[in-house]
């Protein structure tokens, strides 16, 4: 926790969370080090920004050496105040998971509020989907969704602390991507804690977040639950499938909402109209069915009828298995067909001296070997 000292200033966090182990010490970073790392906030080092301010790329001492870091500087006109700043520091101080971004440290200096994170070379999912238009295979998109889902599952259920966490501002721009394309959830300024042993627990709060991702129940009542995160996760799944923004002015629906636009086509079973054309030929029918079913459940208007993140991740992992099996069978069939066409089987009526039963034996033996080869090649890649 962070406490206020006698002079009214916030002190450094206590280390009472013994169950959380850090590979490097979490620390209060001095302002001169921030200035050195950012070359006095050189604009050429800016790698991102938003309502909070700007993010700079710089090198920070972490443990025994320098590491590349993302340095988030809260602007003077930032939408996020001191409360959100300390909420994020407190949350990331307590949390540790491979799908949650790591906080290296923080800096408070006069009016400056700065957070220093591990650097994510591949930016955000939002960047790749909607700004850079990066070619993303269906398998890569599916794995990113699973990684982000595991991060939310950890927050809701598996922190190892007395309370779970409701993120409350989950969106594609808050999914950071490692150089390996592993997904990591970021931005915990609006997060709330909730008891992990009460599945229906909720927090009554002022509505904050990002339009397009709002749980309708939360938006109307101010009642925030873990199922509010599940709804937002469903919106992200739609973004990944359709490659359209949560709020998209090109859509022909009132207020340009992705959810109502896509839900109409899902109800009609007209999925071809909403799938990103870049991946339409990659998705297996079984995988698509499971993925869309997961989206539909996440976006249910009733919070109690939405799945938990445990169930969501299980469904996505099932969809991944279906897709991998489909890919392996397609690869195996293609290779086998090519090899069989090259075999010197006799034409009809020729006397080859090889019995039909022997041909069948060699054909199935070859099929087994080619299938095994295709599987090993797929796994290695």
Active-site positions read: 169
What is the residue whose two structure tokens read 């927090």?
203
Residue 113 sits in the same domain as residue 132? no
Please give the average per-residue pLDDT across 126-136, as a whole number.
93
C-beta separation of 30 from 110 below 8 A: no
- 285 falls within a domain: yes
Q: Which of 118, 148, 171 is the last residue of a domain?
A: 118
DSSP structural state of residue 19: T
The band of 19, judged by pLDDT with boundaries at 50, 70 and 90, is: very low
State whether 49 and 100 are in the same domain.
Answer: yes
Taking Cα atoms as reference points, which of 93, 120, 90, 88 lies closest to residue 104? 93
**What CATH number is given to the structural domain containing 62?**
3.30.200.20
Contact status, residue 185 vs residue 170, Cβ threshold 8 Å: yes
Question: Does 336 fall in a domain?
Answer: no
Are residue 156 and residue 236 in the same domain, yes or no?
yes
332 inside domain: no
Is 327 contained in some domain?
no
**136 compared with 372, residue with greater pLDDT:** 136
Write down the pLDDT at residue 183.
Answer: 97
| Of 85 and 46, the one with more pLDDT | 46
Residue 90 predicted with pLDDT over 50: yes
Q: Which domain holds residue 189?
A: 125-322
Q: What confidence category does residue 373 fall into, taking pLDDT thresholds of 50, 70 and 90?
A: low
Q: Is residue 9 part of a domain?
A: no
Of 285, 284, 84, which is closest to residue 188 (Cα–Cα)?
84
**Integer Cα distance of 292 and 322 in angstroms:** 14
**Distant-in-sequence, close-in-space partners of 319: CB < 8 Å, separation ≥ 6:** 142, 287, 290, 291, 294
Assess whether 154 and 295 both reside in one domain. Answer: yes
- Residue 333 CA to residue 324 CA, distance in Å, equals 14
Instruction: Let me know whether 274 and 372 are in one domain.
Output: no
CA separation (Å) from 349 to 81, 188, 316? 85, 75, 52
Closest CA to 17 of 98, 69, 89: 89
- 161 pLDDT more than 90: no
Does residue 318 share a domain with residue 349?
A: no
Q: Considering the domain boundaries, does residue 10 fall inside one?
A: no
Same domain, 174 and 156: yes
In a domain, residue 43? The reply is: yes
Q: What is the CATH number of the domain that holds 217?
A: 1.10.510.10
225 CB contacts (<8 Å, ≥6 apart)?
Answer: 166, 194, 200, 201, 202, 203, 215, 218, 303
Once rounded to an integer, what is the mean pLDDT over residues 333-359? Answer: 56
Q: Which of 103, 118, 133 is the last residue of a domain?
A: 118
140 and 284 housed in the same domain: yes
pLDDT at position 275, please? 96
- Overall average pLDDT of the 119-141 stretch: 95
pLDDT score recorded for residue 377: 55
Q: Are residues 60 and 170 in the same domain?
A: no
**54 and 83 inside one domain:** yes
Residues 44 and 174 in one domain: no
pLDDT grade for 10, boundaries at 50, 70 and 90: very low
Question: What is the pTM for the complete model shown?
Answer: 0.80
C-alpha closest to that of 166 among 190, 191, 186, 149: 191
Q: What is the CA radius of gyration of the chain?
A: 25
- pLDDT at residue 100 above 90? yes
Query: What's the rounded Cα separation, in Å, for the pair 100 and 120?
Result: 11
Last residue of a domain, one of 118, 141, 163: 118
Q: What's the structural domain count of the chain?
A: 3
Whether 324 contacts 270, CB under 8 Å: no
Residue 17 domain flag = no
Kindly state whether residues 112 and 44 are assigned to the same domain. yes
Mean pLDDT computed over 265-274:
90
Reported as a single tens digit per residue, the pLDDT across 227-240 is: 999 999 999 999 99
Q: What does the pLDDT average to over 260-278?
A: 92
- Residue 93: which pLDDT band, with cuts at 50, 70 and 90? confident
């Amino acid at each position: 926790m962070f406490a206020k000292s006698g002079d009214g200033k916030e002190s450094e966090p206590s280390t009472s969370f013994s169950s959380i182990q850090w590979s490097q010490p979490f620390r209060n970073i001095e302002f001169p080090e921030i200035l050195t790392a950012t070359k006095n906030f050189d604009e050429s080092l800016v790698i991102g920004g938003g309502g909070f301010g700007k993010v700079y790329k710089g090198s920070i001492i972490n443990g025994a050496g320098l590491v590349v870091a993302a340095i988030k500087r809260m602007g003077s006109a930032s939408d996020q105040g001191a409360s959100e700043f300390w909420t994020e520091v407190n949350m990331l101080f307590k949390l540790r998971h491979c799908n949650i971004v790591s906080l290296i440290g923080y800096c408070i200096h006069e009016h400056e509020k700065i957070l220093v994170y591990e650097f994510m070379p591949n930016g955000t999912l939002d960047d790749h989907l909607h700004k850079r238009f990066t070619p993303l295979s269906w398998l890569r998109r599916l794995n990113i969704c699973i990684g982000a889902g595991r991060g939310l599952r950890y927050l809701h259920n598996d922190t190892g602390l007395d309370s779970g966490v409701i993120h409350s501002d989950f969106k594609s721009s808050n999914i950071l991507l490692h150089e390996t394309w592993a997904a990591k959830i970021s931005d915990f300024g609006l997060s709330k804690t909730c008891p992990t042993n009460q599945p229906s627990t909720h927090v009554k709060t002022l509505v904050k977040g990002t339009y397009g991702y709002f749980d309708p129940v939360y938006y109307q009542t101010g009642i925030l639950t873990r199922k509010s995160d599940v709804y937002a996760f469903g919106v992200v799944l739609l973004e990944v499938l359709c490659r359209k923004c949560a709020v998209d002015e090109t859509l022909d629906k009132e207020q340009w909402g992705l959810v109502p636009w896509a839900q109409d086509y899902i109800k009609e079973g007209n999925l071809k109209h909403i799938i990103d054309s870049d991946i339409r030929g990659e998705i297996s029918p079984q995988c698509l069915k499971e993925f869309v079913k997961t989206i539909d459940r996440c976006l249910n208007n009733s919070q109690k009828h939405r799945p938990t993140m445990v169930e969501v991740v299980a469904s996505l992992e099932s969809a991944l298995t279906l897709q991998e099996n489909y890919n392996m069978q397609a690869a195996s069939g293609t290779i086998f067909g090519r090899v069989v066409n090259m075999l010197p089987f006799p034409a009809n009526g020729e006397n080859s001296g090889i019995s039909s039963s022997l041909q069948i034996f060699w054909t199935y033996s070859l099929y087994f070997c080619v299938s095994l080869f295709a599987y090993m090649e797929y796994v290695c890649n």
